[in-house]
């Protein structure tokens, strides 16, 4: 483990200790508050109970091992329940830790936009301004998929990828698993550019700089490793490891003591694990080895590297739902929050909308509901959602003042449960 990562983890633990001692601005944060009365929040109590009964039935049927479900309206919990098992023989708790995978992007992008508000960078800045390893990138000129050996030489990029491209996932980058294997995705997998345990950040960037982009920058949306690159860019701007950047910009101000890059021994008995049935049958079960999180990372993955609780994730989301402020602590301007979450950045762009539902565009961090288009669940223009490949899902509906976080260990069922929970939660709202 690199010395800088060890030192940074120790620094983070010290900061968390100060917060726990009451020295931080949000030390009074209650990570597991008792729910308020349903009717006062505009919900039908019997219909909320039916949601819990539905979850229990699926757990009893062996579909998922457990779940934590947090539903908040106007910043107050209406449901905050733990169901089933965290691990075999251990009940799920409201403060159980989950690998949040791509929900990490919300934390890292929030930290980035705090620095953006301070004038530390512009979204139009070329990425290579801060990461010279990614200067003069070429663009893959072969077929989007296929294994043929007759691949033409890479093309010159028409323009360099920018910081804004990283947030919009229009930088020309990819994930190896997001589409059919081709020369770019295959190399990314073989080089382990998405891994946390084999390469340092510097090594990862050096290898990434030798790989062509899959698309011309700015031409195509493809969900990708871009937020990992954004995290390493923040490290260069701030001159410190990403865990310290995120801690200083987001975790410490909000008092989030259970959002961590490694689940150490003190927290090990709170980590939610997949069931043996999930490991045996789920084609995405490999993600639990990819994101072990019980061992120290060699680099901090800005796109997927965190573990957290429903309470911590819910508090960040509620801060953003409030326009960037909570309990007297302001993270972002309301104008920046609206730009970050609720503006569609993809108008007119082609590309596969990987896991993005019909009727949604993409903001600077997650899908955003559009006024037009076919929608499959209730909501309103400007609502946002996302989650992570390991299972967590979240949503924020500013019109209904609603925040939802669902944590469960079933990668291939994450979309299924998100849709069902969403339609049942809206179905329980009577005001």
- Report DSSP letters for 276-332, one per residue: HHHHHH-TTTTHHHHT--SS--SS--TTT--EE-HHHHHHHHHHHHTTSEETTEE-S
**Cβ-based neighbour number of residue 139 at 10 Å:** 18
Q: Among 209-213, 218-222, 354-358, 386-390, which stretch is predicted with the lowest mean pLDDT?
A: 354-358
In whole angstroms, what is the distance from residue 302 CA to residue 182 CA?
25
pLDDT of residue 235: 98
In whole angstroms, what is the distance from residue 374 CA to residue 96 CA?
36
Long-range contacts made by residues 154-159, C-beta under 8 angstroms, separation at least 24? Answer: 154/212, 155/216, 157/213, 157/216, 157/217, 158/216, 158/217, 159/216, 159/217, 159/218
User: In this predicted model, what pLDDT tens digit does every residue of 303-329 receive, in sequence order?
Assistant: 999 999 999 999 999 999 999 999 999
In whole angstroms, what is the distance from residue 243 CA to residue 176 CA?
25
Whether pLDDT at 7 is above 80: no
Q: Which two tokens stand for residue 161?
A: 């990828």
Under the banding of pLDDT at 50, 70 and 90, the label for residue 1 is very low
Output b/e per residue, 65-98; b: 16+ Cβ within 10 A.
bbbbbbbbbbeebbbbbbbbbbbeeeebebbbbb
pLDDT of residue 306: 98
pLDDT of residue 36: 86
pLDDT of residue 144: 59
pLDDT of residue 32: 67
Angle, helix 45-60 to helix 414-428, in steps of 10 degrees: 160
Whether pLDDT at 28 is above 80: no
Under the banding of pLDDT at 50, 70 and 90, the label for residue 147 is low
Under the banding of pLDDT at 50, 70 and 90, the label for residue 17 is very low
| More confident: 142 or 39 | 39
pLDDT of residue 289: 93
What is the arithmetic mean of pLDDT over 112-136?
98
pLDDT of residue 27: 45
In whole angstroms, what is the distance from residue 183 CA to residue 168 CA?
23
Closest CA to 157 of 82, 220, 215: 215
In whole angstroms, what is the distance from residue 302 CA to residue 250 CA?
13
pLDDT of residue 10: 43
Q: How many residues does the chain have?
A: 431
pLDDT of residue 356: 85
pLDDT of residue 203: 98
Q: Which two tokens stand for residue 169?
A: 């996932």
Whether pLDDT at 68 is above 60: yes
3 state DSSP class of 102: helix
User: In this predicted model, what pLDDT tens digit does every residue of 255-314 receive, in sequence order?
Assistant: 999 999 999 999 999 999 999 988 999 999 999 999 999 999 999 999 999 999 999 999
Whether pLDDT at 211 is above 90: yes
Whether pLDDT at 409 is above 50: yes
pLDDT of residue 425: 98
In whole angstroms, what is the distance from residue 119 CA to residue 113 CA?
10
The rounded mean pLDDT for the chain is 91
Enumerate the β-bridge partners of residue 68.
Answer: 82, 407
Q: What is the pTM of this model?
A: 0.91
Whether pLDDT at 21 is above 80: no
In whole angstroms, what is the distance from residue 153 CA to residue 212 CA?
10
**What DSSP string describes 41-54?**
GTB-HHHHHHHHHH
In whole angstroms, what is the distance from residue 112 CA to residue 253 CA?
15
Angle, helix 104-117 to helix 334-342, in steps of 10 degrees: 140
Under the banding of pLDDT at 50, 70 and 90, the label for residue 20 is very low
pLDDT of residue 149: 52
Whether pLDDT at 2 is above 70: no
**Residues 382, 369 contacting (CB under 8 angstroms):** yes
pLDDT of residue 185: 95
What is the arithmetic mean of pLDDT over 118-128?
98
pLDDT of residue 143: 62
pLDDT of residue 14: 39
> What percent of the chain has a predicted confidence (pLDDT) above 90?
82
User: In this predicted model, what pLDDT tens digit does every residue of 344-362 receive, in sequence order?
Assistant: 998 777 666 767 888 999 9
Under the banding of pLDDT at 50, 70 and 90, the label for residue 372 is confident
């Amino acid at each position: 483990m690199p010395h800088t990562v060890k030192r940074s983890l120790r620094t983070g633990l010290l900061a968390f200790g100060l917060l726990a001692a009451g020295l931080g601005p949000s030390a009074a944060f209650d990570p597991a508050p008792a729910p308020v009365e349903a009717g006062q929040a505009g919900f039908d109590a019997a219909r909320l109970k039916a949601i819990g009964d539905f979850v229990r039935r699926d757990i009893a049927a062996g579909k998922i091992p457990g779940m934590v479900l947090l539903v908040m309206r106007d910043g107050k919990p209406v449901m905050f329940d733990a169901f089933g098992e965290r691990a075999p023989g251990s009940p799920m708790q409201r403060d159980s830790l989950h690998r949040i995978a791509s929900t990490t992007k919300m934390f890292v992008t929030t930290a980035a936009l705090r620095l953006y508000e301070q004038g530390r960078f512009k979204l139009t800045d070329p990425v290579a301004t801060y990461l010279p390893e990614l200067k003069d990138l070429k663009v893959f000129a072969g077929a989007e998929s296929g294994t043929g050996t007759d691949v033409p030489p890479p093309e010159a990029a028409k323009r360099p990828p920018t910081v804004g491209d990283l947030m919009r996932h229009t930088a020309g980058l990819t994930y190896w698993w997001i589409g059919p294997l081709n020369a770019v995705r295959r190399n990314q997998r073989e080089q382990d550019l998405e891994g946390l345990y084999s390469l340092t950040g510097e090594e990862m960037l050096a290898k990434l700089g030798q790989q062509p982009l899959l698309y011309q920058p700015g031409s195509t949306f493809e969900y990708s490793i871009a937020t990992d690159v954004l995290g390493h860019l923040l490290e260069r701007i701030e001159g410190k490891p990403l865990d310290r950047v995120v801690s200083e910009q987001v975790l410490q101000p909000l008092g989030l003591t259970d959002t961590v890059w490694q689940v150490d021994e003190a927290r090990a008995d709170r980590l939610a694990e997949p069931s043996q049935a999930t490991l045996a049958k789920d084609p995405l079960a490999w993600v639990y080895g990819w994101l072990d999180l019980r061992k120290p990372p060699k680099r901090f993955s800005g796109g997927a590297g965190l573990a957290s609780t429903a309470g911590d994730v819910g508090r960040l989301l509620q801060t953003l739902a409030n326009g960037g402020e909570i309990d007297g602590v302001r993270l972002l301007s309301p104008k920046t929050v609206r730009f970050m979450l609720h503006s569609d950045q993809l108008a007119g762009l082609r590309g596969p909308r990987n896991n993005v539902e019909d009727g949604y565009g993409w903001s600077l961090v997650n899908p955003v509901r559009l006024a037009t288009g076919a929608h499959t669940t209730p909501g309103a223009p400007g609502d946002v959602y996302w989650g992570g490949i390991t299972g967590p899902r979240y949503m924020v509906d500013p019109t209904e003042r609603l925040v939802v976080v669902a944590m469960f260990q079933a990668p291939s069922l994450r979309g299924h449960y998100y849709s069902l929970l969403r339609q049942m939660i809206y179905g329980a709202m009577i005001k």
